[in-house]
Amino acid sequence: MGFDLINLLLWILNLLSLLLLARAIFSWFDPGFTSTIGRAIHDITEPILAPIRQVLPPMGMLDLSTIVGIILIQIIARLIVSAA
């Protein structure tokens, strides 16, 4: 049962990483996230990125919170794998 839980957690973390990447790409085409898909991606990923933005200083027009979010998710995934 623990093995299934670990796989589920890793799957969710990978999905979140993909959604963060999709958000970054989507922001080039729909910066206001006005479409239905854009709004859904924004609503799912914003709780991850908002705390990072509070800690990360602004870098002009670059939003590095997405990159930091993906890196943190990957670190968490590796910690889960190594602890299993």
pLDDT at position 60, please?
Answer: 78
Nearest Cα neighbor of 65 from 27, 15, 9 is 27
- pLDDT tens digits for the chain (84 residues)? 566 889 999 999 999 999 999 999 998 998 889 999 999 999 999 999 999 999 998 787 788 999 999 999 999 999 999 987
pTM of the model: 0.87
Strand positions, DSSP E, 1-84:
none
Q: At 2, which amino acid appears? A: G
Question: How many domains are contained in the chain?
Answer: 1
Helix axes 65-83, 2-29, angle to 10 degrees: 170
CB distance 52 to 68 below 8 Å: yes
Q: Which domain holds residue 23?
A: 2-83
- Give me 24's structure tokens: 């970054």
